[in-house]
Structure 1
């Protein structure tokens, strides 16, 4: 049996993190969450997820800078980063950050699962 795909969710909203954890564990994924993108490289290297969800509004280091740091890192740049935000310009923000995709909040469960399947081919 192959191991579960790993998802890392960065969001400063505890309710969103809890919701994502419930949805994704139920769908058979391993999930790690963080409410801050400080030391983003260290956080991601410690887990090596298959896909990352990145909120725009994070304390200290925002989602755009965090995503750019990941995409500029040799070992991590291949991990898909999905930008997710309630911001009306989420698509433009995702492009600016260099993310691989985006998901608008609020999202429904099917949208969340669909975007993971699209980027991981699971």
Structure 2
């Protein structure tokens, strides 16, 4: 049976604990995980990795999650990559909509919520 290519995810968050937890959870599900603590050169980072999905924190240096998501969605080569916006803000749904994200996940979240939202956006593009 041929080996399947692992699904790739990029997580942009400046909280090392969140990155560690998400990496552990997703690698257990056979994802290839790439993490960054800032959004500098975001177009180059995403183009170089070609992820299946992006997890984007709202409060991330330097340009912030909203502008970073807007840059991705404005790029013709990257706009179809689902972006899941995540934040502890109580208006996360508004922030995600304004950023142009495909879905959102409120912090703190549990493992099941993380898996559900990723599976939901992946099902839309399958």
TM-score w.r.t. the length of structure 1 is 0.97
Residue 53 of structure 2, aligned match among 47, 51, 54 = 51
Deviation at 1:59, TM superposition (A): 1.4
Q: Match for residue 104 of structure 1?
A: 106
Q: What are the within-5 Å matches in structure 2 for residues 1-122 of structure 1?
A: 1-121=3-123
- Measure the CA separation in 2 of the matches of 1:75 and 1:59: 24
- Measure the CA separation in 1 of the matches of 2:121 and 2:4: 18
Report the aligned-residue RMSD: 0.9
- Measure the CA separation in 2 of the matches of 1:120 and 1:65: 23
1:107 alignment partner, SS class: coil
> How many equivalent pairs are there?
122
Unaligned runs of 5+ residues in structure 2 are none
TM-score w.r.t. the length of structure 2 is 0.94
